[in-house]
């Protein structure tokens, strides 16, 4: 196996994901990512770190707090030797899936609501144009 060479610095990663370096370091403080270091103590990020960060940002866009995201990630990082631990993670993951499905329904409602408003507006515009 290779030691895939797709690494980058903190500022490169920040630019790629359109966030600040402060944000990345903050997530590290919270234990959400743990990049390797160069001999000079500078952070280096792999594709894996990058994927992890994207997952974090995605979670945030759905209103999950960093603590909740930390939990989800905890699941992803499960030590695959302890069978009890694995089963707990499964239960946790299923709970999250439940939540996600609920969110999807709410997303539909939100869309409906906006579409309805849209229709009202369009109808109104047509009425106004006829009156001219």
Partner DNA sequence: TAAATAGTTAACGTTTACGTAAGTTGTAAG
Partner DNA sequence: CTTACAACTTACGTAAACGTTAACTATTTA
Q: What's the rounded Cα separation, in Å, for the pair 77 and 32?
A: 11
User: 122 is in the binding site of which of DNA, its own copies, none (Cβ under 5 to 8 A by kind)?
Assistant: its own copies
Comparing C-alpha atoms, which of 45, 47, 16, 12 is closest to residue 28?
A: 45
Query: Under the criterion CB under 7 A, does residue 5 sit at the interface with DNA?
Result: no
- Positions touching its own copies (CB under 8 A) are 55, 58-64, 72, 75-76, 78, 80, 83, 86-87, 89-90, 93-94, 96-97, 100, 103-104, 106-107, 109-111, 113-115, 117-118, 120-122, 124-125, 128-129
Q: Helix-strand-coil percent breakdown of the chain, rounded to 5?
A: 70, 5, 25
Measured from the CB of residue 27, what is the shortest distance to DNA in angstroms?
7
């Amino acid at each position: 196996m290779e030691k895939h060479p797709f690494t980058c610095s903190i500022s490169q990663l920040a630019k790629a994901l359109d966030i600040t370096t402060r944000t990345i370091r903050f997530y590290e403080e919270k234990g959400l990512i743990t990049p390797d270091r160069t001999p000079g103590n500078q952070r280096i990020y792999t594709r894996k770190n990058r994927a992890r960060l994207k997952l974090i940002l995605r979670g945030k866009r759905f209103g999950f707090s960093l603590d909740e995201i930390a939990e989800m990630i905890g699941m992803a990082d499960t030590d695959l030797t302890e069978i009890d631990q694995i089963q707990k993670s499964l239960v946790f993951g299923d709970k999250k899936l439940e939540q996600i499905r609920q969110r999807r329904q709410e997303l539909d409602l939100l869309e409906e609501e906006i579409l309805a408003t849209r229709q009202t507006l369009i109808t109104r515009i047509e009425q106004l144009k006829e009156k001219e």
